[in-house]
Amino acid sequence: MVFDTHAHVSARQFDKDRRQALERATDLGIAFLEVGFNEDSSRKSLALARQTGGFCAVGIHPHDALADEPLETRWQYIESLVLESPRVKAIGEIGLDYFRNLSPKNAQIEAFIMGLDLARRHKLPAIIHQRDASRDVITVIDKHSRDIPIVFHCFSEGIDCARKCLDLGGYIGLGGPLTYPRNGYLRDMLKFVPPDRLLVETDCPWLPPQSKRGRRNEPAYIIEVIETIAEVLGQTPSEISKLTFDNAVRVFANGEQEW
Ligand SMILES: [Zn+2]
């Protein structure tokens, strides 16, 4: 079994062949966590989790931090999804993105803190999106959420930042970018991650692995990420599959295998 800890299969990019993409994943023994990024996509993520017998995360992405409705009301809606179903296994994705800055910094930080507070109230892990904002992300997490598992999704920093994230008890999620030739620094960083803190993900439909670049990503392509990790760490793909699957069960299901 393989566990893709970050997928957006309910995104419109899958509208034409969602069922086939899900079948391709199932055929390869791939389970996945469907991740929301605003109210609408969180509701769709839960719907997909119910439909597939799978699990999901619900949250408000920093890009979506600014909206007409007040953040309190928006987070109340997200919380209603948490209360609605035990299939919600995490709060995310939440975080800070100063690269695209699609929402003002203050709104991003406010939304982020509210997301972490929600995760803590429900003892759920938080899935973090971070770009050009590692310093603020680490400061906010250090202050607001030392007692829940934190997943740094699509980790794309070097060893120094990884060390700080690991010190917060964080997990490192790696996906397609690990397979890109120019990202040798990520493969160096990987060697530094303790085995019990490593997770794999696709972030599909985005960030396909090297051999699929230019195409839409999907959960089945996680195999290439597993193979790359195996090669870098000198282990077999099945060892990496098992390791990262067990880690995902520990983080998202308190060690009780439900997948
Ligand atoms: Zn994502």
C-alpha 203 – ligand 1 centre gap (Å): 5
C-alpha 163 – ligand 1 centre gap (Å): 22
What H or E segment, with its residue span, contains residue 147?
none
C-alpha 227 – ligand 1 centre gap (Å): 21
C-alpha 177 – ligand 1 centre gap (Å): 13
pLDDT at 254: 74
The answer on pLDDT for 259 being more than 80 is: no
CATH code for 2-253? Answer: 3.20.20.140
pLDDT at 256: 67
pLDDT at 258: 62
* Residues of the chain above pLDDT 70, percent: 98
Could you please report the per-residue DSSP string of 18-86?
HHHHHHHHHHTTEEEEEE-SSHHHHHHHHHHHHHHT-EEEE---GGG---SS-HHHHHHHHHHHHHH-T
Return the structure tokens found at 86.
């035990």
C-alpha 202 – ligand 1 centre gap (Å): 9
pLDDT at 132: 94
User: What is the rounded distance in angstroms from the CA atom of residue 133 to the CA atom of residue 209?
Assistant: 24
C-alpha 37 – ligand 1 centre gap (Å): 7
User: What is the rounded distance in angstroms from the CA atom of residue 96 to the CA atom of residue 245?
Assistant: 27
C-alpha 7 – ligand 1 centre gap (Å): 7
C-alpha 93 – ligand 1 centre gap (Å): 7
C-alpha 167 – ligand 1 centre gap (Å): 23
Q: How far is CA 217 from CA 14, 15, 31, 49, 221, in A?
A: 10, 14, 15, 19, 7
C-alpha 5 – ligand 1 centre gap (Å): 10
User: What is the rounded distance in angstroms from the CA atom of residue 128 to the CA atom of residue 116?
Assistant: 10
The answer on pLDDT for 2 being more than 70 is: yes
C-alpha 6 – ligand 1 centre gap (Å): 6
C-alpha 149 – ligand 1 centre gap (Å): 18
pLDDT at 165: 96
C-alpha 115 – ligand 1 centre gap (Å): 16
pLDDT tens digits along 138-192: 999 999 877 899 999 999 999 999 999 999 999 999 999 999 999 999 999 999 9
From 67-71, 77-81, 83-87, the region with the lowest mean pLDDT: 67-71
pLDDT tens digits along 189-247: 999 999 999 999 999 999 999 999 999 999 999 999 999 999 999 999 999 999 999 99
C-alpha 204 – ligand 1 centre gap (Å): 7
Query: What angle, 0 to 180 degrees and rounded to 10, lies between the N-to-C axes of helices 237-253 and 222-233?
Result: 110
pLDDT at 147: 86
Mean pLDDT (whole number) for 19-44? 97
Return the structure tokens found at 200.
């794999």
Mean pLDDT of the chain: 95
Band of residue 100 on the pLDDT scale cut at 50, 70, 90: confident
Domain ranges of the chain: 2-253
C-alpha 75 – ligand 1 centre gap (Å): 18
The answer on pLDDT for 107 being more than 70 is: yes
Band of residue 255 on the pLDDT scale cut at 50, 70, 90: low
